[in-house]
Amino acid sequence: MPSRLGTQNRAARPFPSACPLFFERCFPVIVESLVIGPFEVNTYVLYLDGGHDAVVIDPGDAPREILELLSRHRLNVTHVINTHGHGDHIAGNAALKAAFPGAKICVHPRDAHMLSDANANLSAAFGFSVTSPEADLRIEGNTELAAAGIAFRVEHVPGHSPGSVCLVPLDAGTLVFSGDTLFAGSIGRTDLPGGNTGLLLAGIRDKILSLPDETVVYPGHGVKTTVGVEKRENPFVGAGGL
């Protein structure tokens, strides 16, 4: 089941029931992913090959699995980046902050209030109340963020939530972490509070589909895809789509 907090109901390609964990070298960055919690959030752990510091993107529930992965590589978390403030993407923030008190929780200012409010982050409505410590760092669109030795460009792509961001590592080939904006064959749902279909479609086209076709898209749920495939086949933003 794809997350009802994440995707449109209509998806061109079905999500697999469970996504394999993966470990990829996008020199010099290592990307590991875990699929976590009832909403099957993709949690990504990024670190430099041979490095000791790590960035965790969207820690879902079941933080034990994330902590085990970090401990296996003896990694210290310097930044926890939430692509947006929905409960499924922030559920592991508190545990990571407890384990790594120096870690900076990063979120866009327009979603920052969701972290500490189970109603605003929709977890209460979906039957799993979660809250997070407050943001340490508010990340704006069109800026750069240096985290664990990795430089990211932050792009603001609102429409699934007002403060959704995508993250583009600058020195790791062509990758983008798209959160709940663009999925393989789908886009983020826009009927939740603060949603806006027009903004989401425009943001995906301007900020993601403008990247080179070979760019690998790592979404917040489901399998990875590429910009080229989504430009051709995505029924919402691709050729012949809406």
Alpha-helix runs per DSSP H in the chain? 63-72, 87-90, 93-99, 197-203, 227-233
First-residue to last-residue Cα distance in the chain: 24
Report if residue 108 touches Zn ion, rule: CB under 5 A.
no
Which residue is it, tokens 């509070």? Answer: 193
Separation between Cα atoms, residue 143 and residue 80, nearest integer Å: 17
Of residues 96 and 148, the one with the C-beta less far from Zn ion: 96
Window contacting Zn ion (CB under 5 A); options: 3-11, 30-38, 141-149, 198-206: 3-11
Site for Zn ion in 177-196 (CB under 5 A): 180
Distance of closest approach, residue 4 Cβ to Zn ion, in angstroms: 9
The DSSP letter of residue 15 is P
Of residues 3 and 78, the one with the C-beta less far from Zn ion: 3
- Indicate which single residue of 220, 224, 226, 237 sits in contact with Zn ion (rule: CB under 5 A): 220
Of residues 3 and 225, the one with the C-beta less far from Zn ion: 3
Provide the b/e sequence for 115-140 (b: ≥16 CB within 10 Å): beebebbbbeebebebbbbebeeebe
Site for Zn ion in 70-89 (CB under 5 A): 86, 88
Distance of closest approach, residue 189 Cβ to Zn ion, in angstroms: 8
Which residue minimizes CB distance to Zn ion?
Answer: 6
3-state secondary structure of 235: coil
3-state secondary structure of 110: helix
Window contacting Zn ion (CB under 5 A); options: 4-12, 98-106, 210-218, 230-238: 4-12
Of residues 19 and 48, the one with the C-beta less far from Zn ion: 19
Separation between Cα atoms, residue 77 and residue 48, nearest integer Å: 12
Distance of closest approach, residue 165 Cβ to Zn ion, in angstroms: 12
Separation between Cα atoms, residue 233 and residue 136, nearest integer Å: 38
Window contacting Zn ion (CB under 5 A); options: 60-68, 100-108, 196-204, 214-222: 214-222
Which residue is it, tokens 């993709």? Answer: 42
Q: Which residues bind Zn ion (CB under 5 A)?
A: 3, 5-6, 86, 88, 180, 220
